[in-house]
Amino acid sequence: MFTGIIQAIGRIAELKAAGQTAAVTIDAGGLELGDVAIGDSIACNGVCLTVTRLTRDDFSVDVSHETLRVTAGFTPGAAINLEKSLRLADRLGGHLVSGHVDGVGTVRSVTEVEGNRELTITFPPGLARYFARKGSATVSGVSLTVNSVDGDSFAVNLIPRTLKVTNLGELKKDSKVNLEVDLVARYVERMLGEGADR
């Protein structure tokens, strides 16, 4: 479990295909790894992955073919948002994030607004019911508040701090992002009986 508060921007140092998976080495970008052990989870652009190798400055994960197929951001040299898994004693500064990506969105527009930046992101049709104004969404691992929803897209505001400490500042029109819907919305839907046959 994660919070969507990014702790460092890493970089994909190497990606090696290995059968149906890929071994990915990630430069930790200053993420403190002293309390991380092999087998621990780290969210990488919002994808919960298991550490398979570890040094002081980098770590490796195995990424399945399916994960590579349904997510974005795993290309050599790419900047990647990193967050270690939540401990029970940690503050929940964002919202509950599972690290299970629900779909890939596309940046429709990027607009500068009084020192902030507004992103409009399209989402896959099946996710429409999970986005609500003032609700939460995870964009490439970053916990954000939804400003508005319009048809097949939603808008979020990025403050200067978010632009500085995440890779969202690199996004431009047509960039791909990993989306995770609000976990609470998913459970509410289930309890109300909608989607029970899915």
More confident residue, 153 or 87: 153
Q: Can you give the pLDDT at residue 31?
A: 97
- pLDDT interval class at 194 (50, 70, 90): low
User: pTM, whole model, 2 decimals?
Assistant: 0.90
- pLDDT interval class at 84 (50, 70, 90): very high
State what percent of residues in the chain have pLDDT above 90. Answer: 78
Q: Provide the β-strand partners of residue 179.
A: 103, 139
Tokens linked to 122? 């399209």
CA angle 120, 94, 46 (to 5 degrees): 65
For 140-151, what is each residue's pLDDT tens digit?
Answer: 999 999 999 999
For 30-55, what is each residue's pLDDT tens digit?
Answer: 999 999 999 999 999 999 999 999 99
For the ranges 94-98, 129-133, 169-173, the lowest mean pLDDT is seen at 94-98
Q: Which of 158, 189, 186 is nearest to 102 (CA)?
A: 186
Q: List the domains of the chain with CATH numbers.
A: 8-84 (2.40.30.20), 103-191 (2.40.30.20)
3-state secondary structure the chain: CECCCCCEEEEEEEEEEECCEEEEEEECCCCCCCCCCCCCEEEECCEEEEEEEECCCEEEEEEEHHHHHHCCCCCCCCEEEEEECCCCCCCCCCCCECCCCCEEEEEEEEEEECCEEEEEEECCHHHHHHCCCCCEEEECCEEEEEEEEECCEEEEEECHHHHHHCHHHHCCCCCEEEEEECHHHHHHHHHCCCCCCC
Q: How far is CA 155 from the centre of its chain?
A: 16
